Amino acid sequence: MAAGLVQASELQKPNMIWIMTEDIAPDLECYGMAGVKTPNLNKMAKEGMLFTRAYCANPICSPSRSSMMVGAHQTTFNAQHHRSNRDTPLPAPYKPITSYLRDAGYTCILGSDLVMKQGRKIDCNFKYKDTGPYDGVKNFGIFDKLDTFTPADQPFFNQIQTVVTHRGDWWNGVRAASKHPVPLDAIKLPPFMADTPEIRYDWATYLDTIEYMDDEVGQIMQRLKDQGLDKNTIVVFVGDNGRCNLRGKGYLQEPGIHVPMIVWGPGIKAGTVVDELVCMTDISATILKLAGAHMPDYLDGHPVFGVENPQYREYVRSARDIWDEIDECSRSITTKKFSYIKNHMPEVPWNTTQAYLELNRPALHVMRRLKAEGKLSDAEMTFFLDEKPSEELYDLNKDPNQMVNLAANPEYAETLKKMRALEKQWQAENNDMGLADLGNRHPEEGLGAVLVREAVKEKAPDVWARLEAGELMETQSWKKKYGTKKKGK
Ligand SMILES: [Ca+2]
């Protein structure tokens, strides 16, 4: 091929920015969330595509991020357990999508100097390094450079993680510094949350962090314009897993797996709202397609934007496995109308004693107290049952909050059969390494969060009492404060 031709086609390749925001459901103004203002994302949605039914393959960071980085369901390559296999190379033929993007001429960039903590989180459950070459045997670098894109990097792929929405010691500070803190009476809580001042404060602060993140997105968009790159750059905005609250992150109900997704840029039809089902792994496939990169057979998704014939899904299949010290195994099938969840370990309640949750969920403590006082409504009680049902079935059109489990309702027997069949079909076509090791698993022991919880309870019962009263506290600093560092580390 003549050199000139190669150059011309390289120039036509779009740059792509994939913004991944921590721990949020579709809780943006453009999705109708009460109380929050997200002008930058609203604008992006108005000028681009807003997906109303986008889902993660897992409701926790690392398995979900693993599926996105590879473009396949995490259970098919043993990445289903949170923070597992960090010293194990990806099994062949799986590779990070950046490997194929590099082959297609892309500069792969991690993070941005415009966002809190530089946005460099990777958090995948296989062996990797942030930067450097990758062969999957001796070299494990996933990206080429950090923090900035320039015209010279074209075509480039930049993945940016916005961390502010992840619970952290900055939350109270973000609210205090906000020029327009979300008023406590402007928000609307879902029916499964008790309505108390503590829970309202926590919810409003979450929305404040979303506003902060929206401003970061605005800065990224502005830099694209300033550098004259906006005409040739596609921007994808998604959540990495669901909302950091009850029934959210960690759970297969909608608040845990349903995430926002907005796409903007050349070839993206303005003002489009897509109500079709999409999984995050479809984004990985789309990015490879738009880059003109190799699309390996193991990809679980199909191109869903920027192409002539997007291939949407009949259903999305999600999975939850080990998270910290809690062993768990649940699988879900989401169709346009129904949500089906199979709980393989129904004896593990949703309301576990997981240290991370006890340190980071004010609502959990408030509602445990209300439960003890007999003050929770039926809807609020759903999270606090002693066991999970072995199967759940919800009509998402009639019951978007998933309050009525229809699994035992004879009127829905046919639907239940169909949903079970979809899960069976998925298993027949795909490998589920999380079902394979069920009953023979090793949840994490000696976790920092567990040590912190025990130390604070013992050394500072007054501080622990404030947490139990539902105060939003800066629990990350407790590690240092209460000397929970393990000996020899
Ligand atoms: Ca996350």
* Domain assignment of residue 104, given as a range: 3-313
Quickly count helices (H) and strands (E) in the chain.
16, 14
Quick check: is 104 in a domain?
yes
**Cα 438 to the center of its chain, rounded Å:** 24
Domain count, the chain: 1
Name, in order, each residue with C-beta under 8 angstroms of 152's C-beta and a sequence gap of 6 or more. none
Contact 89, 137 (CB under 8 A): yes
Between the CA of 108 and the centroid of ligand 1 the distance, in Å, is 21
Helix (H) or strand (E) holding 217: helix 197-226
> What distance in Å separates the CA atoms of residue 203 and residue 189, rounded to the nearest whole number?
8
Between the CA of 124 and the centroid of ligand 1 the distance, in Å, is 11
Q: Assign 268 to helix, strand or coil.
A: coil
pLDDT by residue for the chain (489 residues), tens digit each?
343 344 444 458 999 999 999 999 999 999 999 999 999 999 999 999 999 999 999 999 999 999 999 999 999 999 999 999 999 999 999 999 999 999 999 999 999 999 999 999 999 999 999 999 999 999 999 999 999 999 999 999 999 999 999 999 999 999 999 999 999 999 999 999 999 999 999 999 999 999 999 999 999 999 999 999 999 999 999 999 999 999 999 999 999 999 999 999 999 999 999 999 999 999 999 999 999 999 999 999 999 999 999 999 999 999 999 999 999 999 999 999 999 999 999 999 999 999 999 999 999 999 999 999 999 999 999 999 999 999 999 999 999 999 999 999 999 999 999 999 999 999 999 999 999 999 999 998 889 999 999 999 999 999 999 999 999 999 999 999 997 755 544
Between the CA of 167 and the centroid of ligand 1 the distance, in Å, is 10
Quick check: is 60 in a domain?
yes
Token pair, residue 82, equals: 């949170």
Picking from 351, 347, 321, 362, the residue whose alpha carbon sits closest to that of residue 172 is 362
Using N-to-C axis directions, what is the helix angle for 362-372 and 197-226, rounded to 10°? 160
Between the CA of 116 and the centroid of ligand 1 the distance, in Å, is 15
Neighbour order of strands in the sheet with 316-320: 316-320, 330-334, 338-343, 391-395
> What distance in Å separates the CA atoms of residue 259 and residue 250, rounded to the nearest whole number?
13
Between the CA of 477 and the centroid of ligand 1 the distance, in Å, is 20
Q: Assign 141 to helix, strand or coil.
A: strand
Query: What is the per-residue pLDDT for 486?
Result: 57
Quick check: is 415 in a domain?
no
Picking from 130, 116, 121, 217, the residue whose alpha carbon sits closest to that of residue 171 is 116
Quick check: is 152 in a domain?
yes
Picking from 400, 432, 380, 402, the residue whose alpha carbon sits closest to that of residue 81 is 432
Between the CA of 168 and the centroid of ligand 1 the distance, in Å, is 12
Which residues are near ligand 1, the ion (C-beta closer than 5 Å)? 22-23, 61, 240-241
> What distance in Å separates the CA atoms of residue 294 and residue 97, rounded to the nearest whole number?
9
Question: pTM for this structure?
Answer: 0.96
What are the φ and ψ backbone dihedral angles of 280, each rounded to 5 degrees? Answer: -55, -30
Q: How far is CA 164 from CA 82, 161, 167, 225, in A?
A: 21, 9, 7, 24
Quick check: is 303 in a domain?
yes
Q: Assign 233 to helix, strand or coil.
A: strand
Between the CA of 166 and the centroid of ligand 1 the distance, in Å, is 7
What are the φ and ψ backbone dihedral angles of 440, each rounded to 5 degrees? Answer: -135, 55
Quick check: is 385 in a domain?
no
Between the CA of 438 and the centroid of ligand 1 the distance, in Å, is 24
Count of CB atoms situated within 10 Å of the CB of 310: 16
Quick check: is 368 in a domain?
no
Query: What is the per-residue pLDDT for 1?
Result: 37
Pairing mode, strands 129-131 and 141-143:
parallel
Read off the CATH number of the domain in which 298 is found: 3.40.720.10
> What distance in Å separates the CA atoms of residue 353 and residue 369, rounded to the nearest whole number?
15
Between the CA of 137 and the centroid of ligand 1 the distance, in Å, is 28
Alpha-carbon torsion angle 144, 145, 147, 148, nearest 10 = -100
What are the φ and ψ backbone dihedral angles of 263, each rounded to 5 degrees? Answer: -125, 135
Contact 212, 176 (CB under 8 A): no
Quick check: is 169 in a domain?
yes
Token pair, residue 287, equals: 């990015």
The pLDDT tens digits for 386-410 are 999 999 999 999 999 999 999 999 9
CA atoms within 13 A on the CB side of 224: 22
Between the CA of 56 and the centroid of ligand 1 the distance, in Å, is 11
